[in-house]
C-alpha cells in the first residue's frame, strides 16, 4: 500500500533489523522503527507498537529469525515471542514454521520472508474473493483495523473494499472508532484516507442507529482466531455488531487468511481472551498528553477481544473463497 506516494509493508527485515511502522504514532505522524534484536521485537508485539493478527505473525517470524542470527537460546526466544499476545493464532503458526524449517540463520530468515510474502498473497486473494460483495454504491461497516497495517499488506476486511475502489466502484465505509485503543478511528480511517475512499468515523455505539436507518448494506470485520466451528474472536465490540446486523437483516462477513483458522480449537469457548491493562480504559492520549477520563480509584475491565458465534456470521472470506462457517473443516482439513 502507498503512503504519500511510496509503497510500504507493515513490517519487513533489513539485515538483522526488523523494521516496522510505528503504529502508536498514527495518524498524526508516520515513522519507522528499527528493532535491533528479538527482545525488542517481542516488546513491540507485546506493547502493540505493531498489531493485527497477520502482522503479529510475520513480526514474530522475523523475531525468531533474529534469535537465530544472534545465536540466542532458541527455546527461550520462542517462549518470549510466543507469550507476547495470547489470542492471535498466527503468532504461534509463524514461530512453529520458522523452528521447523530452519537449522541455520539463513534458513530462518528465508522462512520468515516466505511467511510475510504468503500473508500478502493471501490478502490479495481475499480481496478478489470478497470483491463481488462490494457493489457500486455499497455502504460497508467495519470494526477495528484489519487493513494493511494488520496483515503486512492489503489487509483482510478492507481488502475487497480497496480492490473495488481501485476498479472504479463507488463505496462508502462506516468506521467504528473501536474503543478503548481506537484502532478504527486511528488506523482504518488513516488507511482509507491514503486510498481516497469516502468514509465517516462513528462512535462504537452508533452502529445500530445507522443499521436501523437502512444506511448499512453489509459488515466486514477481521479476525484474530477462528475456531473449527466458525466461532470467531475479533476486537472487543465485534459480537455486538454481529447481533445488530442479524436483527436488521444485514449480511455480516469475517475476512481472514487461512492461517487465522485454528482447526485444533473446537469452538469459541476455547479461544483465550487477552485481558489488557485497565489504564487503556481510564486514559486517553491527545496530542501527546495523557488524560484520565474516569474517576480516580475506580476499576475498569478491559478484554481485548470477544467471540462472535458462527450463527451470526454470513460467510468467512478467505483466499479460497467465501466459506460458510460450518464448512471450515471440510475446506481446510
For the annotated catalytic residues, the residue numbers are 224
Is the separation of the CB atoms in 119 and 259 below 8 Å? yes
Secondary structure percentages of the chain, helix, strand, coil, to 5: 40, 20, 35
Give the whole-angstrom CA distance, residue 254 versus residue 317: 6
283-286 vs 289-292, strand pairing mode: antiparallel
Give the whole-angstrom CA distance, residue 150 versus residue 213: 31
Q: Which helix (H) or strand (E) holds 328?
A: helix 328-332
CA–CA–CA angle 158, 235, 245 (5° rounding): 70
Is the separation of the CB atoms in 258 and 53 below 8 Å? no
- Beta-carbon contacts of 35 under 8 Å, excluding residues fewer than 6 positions away, are 17, 18, 19, 20, 41, 44, 63, 66
Give the whole-angstrom CA distance, residue 198 versus residue 293: 31
Amino acid at each position: 500500500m502507498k503512503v504519500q506516494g511510496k509503497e510500504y509493508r507493515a513490517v519487513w527485515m533489513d539485515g538483522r533489523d526488523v523494521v516496522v511502522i510505528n503504529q502508536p504514532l498514527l495518524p498524526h505522524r508516520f515513522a519507522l522503527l528499527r528493532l535491533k534484536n528479538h527482545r525488542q521485537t517481542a516488546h513491540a508485539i507485546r506493547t502493540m507498537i505493531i498489531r493485527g493478527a497477520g502482522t503479529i505473525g510475520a513480526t514474530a517470524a522475523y523475531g525468531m529469525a533474529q534469535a537465530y542470527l544472534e545465536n540466542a537460546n532458541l527455546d527461550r526466544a520462542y517462549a518470549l515471542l510466543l507469550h507476547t499476545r495470547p489470542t492471535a493464532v498466527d503468532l504461534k503458526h509463524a514461530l512453529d514454521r520458522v523452528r521447523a524449517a530452519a537449522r541455520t540463520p539463513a534458513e530462518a530468515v528465508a522462512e520468515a520472508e516466505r511467511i510475510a510474502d504468503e500473508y500478502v498473497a493471501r490478502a490479495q486473494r481475499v480481496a478478489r474473493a470478497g470483491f463481488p460483495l462490494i457493489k457500486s454504491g455499497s455502504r460497508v461497516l467495519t470494526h477495528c483495523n484489519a487493513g494493511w497495517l494488520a496483515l503486512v499488506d492489503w489487509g483482510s476486511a478492507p481488502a475487497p473494499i480497496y480492490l473495488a475502489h481501485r476498479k472504479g466502484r463507488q463505496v462508502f465505509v462506516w468506521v467504528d472508532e473501536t474503543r478503548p485503543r481506537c484502532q478504527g478511528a486511528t488506523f482504518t480511517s488513516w488507511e482509507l484516507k491514503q486510498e481516497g475512499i469516502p468514509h465517516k468515523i462513528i462512535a462504537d455505539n452508533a452502529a445500530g442507529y445507522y443499521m436501523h436507518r437502512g444506511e448499512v448494506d453489509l459488515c466486514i470485520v477481521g479476525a484474530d482466531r477462528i475456531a473449527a466451528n466458525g466461532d470467531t474472536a475479533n476486537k472487543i465490540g465485534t459480537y455486538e455488531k454481529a447481533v445488530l446486523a442479524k436483527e436488521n437483516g444485514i449480511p455480516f462477513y469475517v475476512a481472514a487468511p487461512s492461517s487465522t483458522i485454528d482447526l485444533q480449537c473446537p469452538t469459541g469457548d476455547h479461544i483465550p481472551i487477552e485481558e489488557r491493562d485497565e489504564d487503556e480504559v481510564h486514559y486517553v492520549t491527545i496530542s501527546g498528553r495523557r488524560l484520565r477520563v474516569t474517576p480516580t480509584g475506580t476499576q475498569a475491565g478491559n478484554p481485548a477481544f470477544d467471540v462472535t458465534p458462527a450463527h451470526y456470521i454470513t460467510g468467512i472470506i478467505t483466499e479460497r473463497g467465501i466459506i460458510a462457517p460450518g464448512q471450515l473443516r471440510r475446506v481446510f482439513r
